Amino acid sequence: MHTVVLTKGVPDFREGVVSFDEDGHLERGNTPTTMNPNDEHALRAALQTRVRHGGQVDVMSMGPPGYKDVLREAMESVYADDLYLVSDKQFAAADTWATAITLATAIQHRGEPDLVFAGFKTADGETGHTGPQTCWCLDVPIITHVVALDVDQEEERVRAKRLVEGDVSEIETVEAPMPAFIVADPEFEPSYRTARDRLERKRLRADARDRAETAEEHVTMWDHSELNLDPDYVGLDGSPTIVSSVDPIPKAPSEREATVVDPDDADGMSAVVDELAPFAGGD
């Protein structure tokens, strides 16, 4: 079993230091990056597959060189083997379509895996397009909103439980031939119900702990020429999406104005109670 997980670095909104340029594009250089939270579900699904069926998990991302940290994080959390970073100035400001073309090309360049995993939408773009569009470029079946999955290696098929319209009460089971593309839902819960699975996970963790210390050495970087990609079809030039305007992001709670009230100050406390009272009745 060979799997690739797509992961993305996203601005760390918690820090409240996201900045945009005049055209409304995100200034990544000034914004701390963290792993897209939804990708963790994809990573877990990939780890479960590897624990149960062996093989290898590779993690791939497209972005600036700083994304190596995100890849190392992925190595620690799913004990990944090889890390791929598709990185080139030419890829900058790509929309989901240009990103999908780039990623699909990179996946094929690496040698097409049995399963590709992606998370359900990114915390910055929130489109949920990149996964399905990459899949379309790869021309393999896709199963989205996956909450549980299992692989039949002999039959070369993947069987998954998926949410229907995001509703936990409605779950359908579907099957697809491999290679296939899996989009993990945030409700995905890995299951390790056998001792052998747990022992295997423990073994992988021990191996990865050593590997993560030299994570950089496991990163392969590709630019447009190595992937044989025409600059006109990638990055900003290859992106049909036009950003018309950007809404400001609300301030992080810590920056909102707050009045500090000493709990021993009776007047102050009764003023707080007066302000809260109208809500207490459910008004």
Please report, as ranges, the residues that interact with other proteins according to CB under 8 A: 193-196, 198-199, 202-203
Q: Which is nearer to other proteins, 201 or 224 (CB)?
A: 201
Region for residue 7 given its phi and psi (left: phi exceeds 0; alpha: psi -120 to 50; beta: otherwise): beta
Q: How far is the CB of 175 from other proteins (least distance, A)?
A: 23
Q: Is residue 80 a contact partner of residue 196, using CB atoms and an 8 Å limit?
A: no
Residue 272 to residues 254, 260, 266, 268, Cα–Cα distance (Å): 19, 10, 10, 6
Q: How far is the CB of 192 from other proteins (least distance, A)?
A: 8
The encoded tokens of residue 138 equal 């790869």
Q: How far is the CB of 207 from other proteins (least distance, A)?
A: 12
Q: How far is the CB of 191 from other proteins (least distance, A)?
A: 10
Q: Which is nearer to other proteins, 42 or 148 (CB)?
A: 148
Q: Which is nearer to other proteins, 89 or 203 (CB)?
A: 203
**In terms of Cα–Cα distance, which of 89, 94, 87 is closest to 235?**
94
Cβ–Cβ contacts within 10 Å for residue 269, how many?
Answer: 13
Report the C-alpha gap between 238 and 98 in whole angstroms. Answer: 6
| Location of structure tokens 């993947």 | 158
Cβ–Cβ contacts within 10 Å for residue 12, how many?
Answer: 15
What ranges in the chain are assigned the alpha helix state H? 39-53, 68-78, 96-110, 130-138, 195-213, 266-280
Q: Which is nearer to other proteins, 202 or 209 (CB)?
A: 202
Q: Which is nearer to other proteins, 25 or 202 (CB)?
A: 202
Q: Which is nearer to other proteins, 164 or 206 (CB)?
A: 206
Q: Which is nearer to other proteins, 12 or 150 (CB)?
A: 150
In the 3-class helix/strand/coil scheme, how is 77-104 assigned residue by residue? HHCCCCEEEECCHHHCCCCHHHHHHHHH
Q: How far is the CB of 193 from other proteins (least distance, A)?
A: 5
Q: How far is the CB of 150 from other proteins (least distance, A)?
A: 15
Q: How far is the CB of 202 from other proteins (least distance, A)?
A: 7
Q: How many residues does the chain have?
A: 283
